[in-house]
Amino acid sequence: MAAADPDTEVQAEFPPLVRQYKSGRVERFFNPAPLPAGTDAATGVVSKDVDVDPATGLWARLFLPPGSHGKKQQLPVVVYYHGGAYVIGSAADPWTHTYLNALVAKAGVLVVALEYRLAPEHPLPTAYEDSWEGLKWVATHAAAAAGGGGPVEPWLTEHGDFSRVFLAGASAGGTIAHLVAVRAGEQQGHGDLLGMRVRGLLIVHPYFSGAADIGDEGTTGKQRKAQADAFWRFLYPGSPGLDDPLSNPFSEAAGGSAARVAADRVLVCVAEKDDLRDRGVWYYESLRASGYPGEVELLESKGEGHVFYCMNPRCDRAREMEERILSFLRM
């Protein structure tokens, strides 16, 4: 009998996202080819890719509004983290790229979309560490713009208003945005990070979890919770499970860290038909009760599912969400 081929024998599978074989080979689904940076024909937004840390391969896609290139125009800076359950997605995937083009054109902001490394090849907490390093890289430009020297990316030094910085992310990226905001608060004090003022934290359809059921989670059965736990351990081997502070920001192990979010305001967006809806509302309610001193807002999109605004950006609820986010970024 022939020996099994480790390159075709499945070790772990989590449809519809990812499959890993015993050889270590990873097969990703729902993962379309990336779009190139450049000038967007529909919006006039210009984007480019820049290296952040060549040693790790960390890079970012920067977006400038139409008419800004070549001008000394100061713009709010949005540091954005894409979603994809830590195993798929990219700053260059069609949904993220198209969404950010539209956001930049309408909000008049400079976006830095960071490309963190994915699991399982790079298990958690790699994505968080990359995301933190990316934020620190952005922050070095605040000193450079003030004449302090250091590495210079011209779009940031010429166009970035570091007194108006926002951290944002969707799905797993929303979780990342929360965690880097907490880390910033713990290291630099409320709202200030290496010369940057973090005005707002935008959390969209966040991918949080926890060992205890909340909301409707108890109606989905023990098997669903077991699958969630198995997937988390696939992402983060050696983790204690769903109450890891990187999954549950209000667990005992998190030690009240959520209250130290470095942002003046937080906007949490959830969707009524999203399986993660109850966790998003729980995050909103828990943050308000945590002792966090800023304002926390909630927007629920009725009748919609997870990241619906990327799939159907012209629907009424997507336009409603867009207007709320634009208002948040203009504060």
Three-class SS of residue 42?
A: coil
> pLDDT digit of tens for each residue in the chain (331 aa)?
556 788 899 999 999 999 999 999 999 998 899 999 999 999 999 999 999 999 999 999 999 999 887 777 899 999 999 999 999 999 999 999 999 999 999 999 999 999 999 999 999 999 999 999 999 999 999 877 666 666 689 999 999 999 999 999 999 999 999 999 999 998 865 445 667 999 999 999 999 999 999 887 867 657 888 999 999 999 999 999 999 999 999 999 999 999 999 999 999 999 999 999 999 999 999 999 999 999 999 999 999 999 999 999 999 999 999 999 999 999 8
User: According to the model, what pLDDT value does residue 105 have?
Assistant: 97
CB 284 within 8 A of CB 221: no
Element (H, E) at 165: strand 160-170
- Measured between alpha carbons, how far is 127 from 133 in angstroms, rounded to an integer? 10
User: According to the model, what pLDDT value does residue 35 have?
Assistant: 97
User: According to the model, what pLDDT value does residue 190 have?
Assistant: 47
Strands (E), 185-330: 192-193, 196-204, 265-271, 295-301
Query: CA geometry: angle at 283 spanning 82 and 99, to 5°?
Result: 25
User: According to the model, what pLDDT value does residue 67 have?
Assistant: 87
141, 274, 286, 301: the active-site residue: 274
Catalytic residue status for 171: yes
User: According to the model, what pLDDT value does residue 148 have?
Assistant: 60
171, 239, 247, 286: the active-site residue: 171
Non-local (6+) Cβ contacts of 105 within 8 A are: 40, 43, 44, 45, 65, 66
Report DSSP state, residue 260: G
Q: Which domains occur in the chain, in start order?
A: 39-209+259-330 (3.40.50.1820)
Catalytic residue status for 178: no
User: According to the model, what pLDDT value does residue 144 have?
Assistant: 74
